[in-house]
């Protein structure tokens, strides 16, 4: 694993990465600046903001931590790199999901090839869509690794209320949408991590109390957003981020019981054989 950004390299090696997400559509300068200041005062690794060049410049002026922008728009990404973004993420497919559209692996690989030519020696993270089968997620992750992508991010499933109720029948009434997203993101992380040598960030539904579980299942760090944005002020944000960091630093072999129950329904050995056969064909 080699990242262009040496500040990030060490955190990924220690599996202690905390990416603070200010909101993919949040272009409210005052709100983002407040989060950026909290990030600077905390043990966070870097901040992920909306792909807006003006916002990039504002955040860079008040924070010394790396700034990541996330988008699927090539022009927006390029303009943000010119504005000073330290790393970029091809992801946040919510824009497509809202319109009922879903990007496929071929489209993602095409976008990555264009981005690699445009951004040069800047670390590139790519989100692997949740709606691909686990086998197809692994194949895409391997292809991304071959293209020189530096970081993979797993994505949690987004279900309708009807599906949430069905999950609750199997896994218990306390498993809400956030928990379902977290568990499904962990499952993707766990499976992908067996086939790639680049770091993985687990982002969906993660909270401070569950952050350590992500690293136990193959992640090098976590992305956390809504839980921080719910805090009342900068001091509370800093406390929450630091609690998350401390949780990541604690060694524990206890795994999520809900996730262990999910794995019972996954034919892991069989899927691994199928994946290996597909990768070799």
Structurally, the chain folds into a number of domains equal to: 1
Give the number of other CB atoms < 10 A from CB of residue 239: 15
Which domain does 45 fall in, by range?
A: 6-280
Q: What three-state secondary structure class fits 54?
A: helix
Q: Which region holds residue 15: left if phi is over 0, alpha if psi is between -120 and 50, else beta?
A: left
Q: What is the CATH number of the domain that holds 165?
A: 3.20.20.70
Q: What three-state secondary structure class fits 89?
A: strand
**What residue ranges in the chain does DSSP mark as E strands?**
17-21, 46-50, 67-71, 87-90, 123-127, 151-154, 200-202, 221-224
Inter-residue contact 201 to 125 (CB < 8 Å):
yes
Q: Which residues does the chain have with pLDDT short of 70?
A: 1, 95-96, 98, 157-181, 205-206, 250-281
Tell me, what's the pLDDT at 155? 86
What is d(CA 16, CA 41) in angstroms, rounded to the nearest whole number?
17
Tell me, what's the pLDDT at 226? 84
pLDDT tens digits for 257-280? 444 544 554 555 655 565 566 566
The string of DSSP codes covering 112-180 is HHHHHHHH-SSEEEEEPPTTS-HHHHHHHHHHHHHTT--EEEE------HHHHHHHHHHH-TT--HHHH
What is d(CA 243, CA 211) in angstroms, rounded to the nearest whole number?
10
For residue 178, which of 230, 141, 125, 103 has the smallest C-alpha distance?
230
Tell me, what's the pLDDT at 200? 95
Dihedral pair phi/psi, residue 157, rounded to 5°: -70, 145
Judge residue 121's burial from the number of C-beta atoms within 10 Å of its C-beta, 0-12 exposed, 13-18 middle, 19 or more buried.
exposed
Judge residue 19's burial from the number of C-beta atoms within 10 Å of its C-beta, 0-12 exposed, 13-18 middle, 19 or more buried.
buried
Tell me, what's the pLDDT at 25? 83
pLDDT tens digits for 143-168? 999 999 999 999 876 544 444 455 55
1 assigned to some structural domain: no
Rg (CA), the chain: 18
Give the number of other CB atoms < 10 A from CB of residue 98: 8
219 assigned to some structural domain: yes
What is d(CA 258, CA 171) in angstroms, rounded to the nearest whole number?
7
Q: Which region holds residue 151: left if phi is over 0, alpha if psi is between -120 and 50, else beta?
A: beta
């Amino acid at each position: 694993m080699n990242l262009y950004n040496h500040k990030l390299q060490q955190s990924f090696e220690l599996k202690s990465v905390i990416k603070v997400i200010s909101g993919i559509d949040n272009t409210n300068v005052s709100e983002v600046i407040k989060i950026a200041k909290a990030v600077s005062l905390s043990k966070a690794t870097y901040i992920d903001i909306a792909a807006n060049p003006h916002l990039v410049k504002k955040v860079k002026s008040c924070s010394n931590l790396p700034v990541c922008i996330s988008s699927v728009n090539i022009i927006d990404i390029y303009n943000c790199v010119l504005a000073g973004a330290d790393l970029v993420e091809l992801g946040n497919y919510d824009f497509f999901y809202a319109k009922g559209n879903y990007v496929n692996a071929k489209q993602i690989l095409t976008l990555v090839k264009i981005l690699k030519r445009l951004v040069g020696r800047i670390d590139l993270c790519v989100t692997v869509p949740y709606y691909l089968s686990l086998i197809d997620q692994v194949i895409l992750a391997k292809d991304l690794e071959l293209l020189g992508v530096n970081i993979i991010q797993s994505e949690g499933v987004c279900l309708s209320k009807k599906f949430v109720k069905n999950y609750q029948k199997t896994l218990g009434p306390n498993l809400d949408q956030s928990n379902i997203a977290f568990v499904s993101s962990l499952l993707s992380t766990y499976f992908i991590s067996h086939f790639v040598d680049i770091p993985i960030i687990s982002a969906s539904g993660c909270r401070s109390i569950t952050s350590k579980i992500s690293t136990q299942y193959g992640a090098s760090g976590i992305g956390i957003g809504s839980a921080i944005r719910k805090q009342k002020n900068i001091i509370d944000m800093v406390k929450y981020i630091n609690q998350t960091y401390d949780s990541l630093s604690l060694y524990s072999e206890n795994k999520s019981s809900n996730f262990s129950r999910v794995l019972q329904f996954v034919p892991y050995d069989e899927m691994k054989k199928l994946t290996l056969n597909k990768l070799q064909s």
